Chain A
Amino acid sequence: MAEINVSVNGRAYTRDVEPRTLLVHFLRDAIGLTGTHVGCDTSQCGACTVLLDGRGVKSCTVLAVQANGAQVTTIEGLETNGALHPLQAAFREAHGLQCGFCTPGMIMSSVDLLSHNPHPTEGEIRHALEGNLCRCTGYHNIVKAVQIAANTMAAGGSAVAAD
Chain B
Amino acid sequence: MQLVLEQEQEDLRAAVRAFAREEAPRSVLRAVVDGDHGPVPGLWRGLADRLDLVGLTVPASHGGSGAGHVERAVALEELGRALVPVPYLSCAVLAVDTLSSLADERARAELLPSIAAGERLVAVAVTENGRWDTEAVTTRAEPVSDDPAGGAGWVLTGRKETVLDGAGADVLLVLADTPDGPGFFQVDRDARGLTRTPLEPLDPTRAFARIGFDATPARRLTTPDARAALSRVRDLASVAVAAESLGVLAHALETAVEYAKVRIQFGRYIGSYQAVKHLCADSHVDLELSESVLRHAAWAADHAPGEFPVAAAHARLTVPAAAFRTAARAVEVLGGIGFTWEHDAHLYYKRARTLEHLLGDPSDAARVLADRLLPDTAPEAAR
Do A and B come together as binding partners?
no
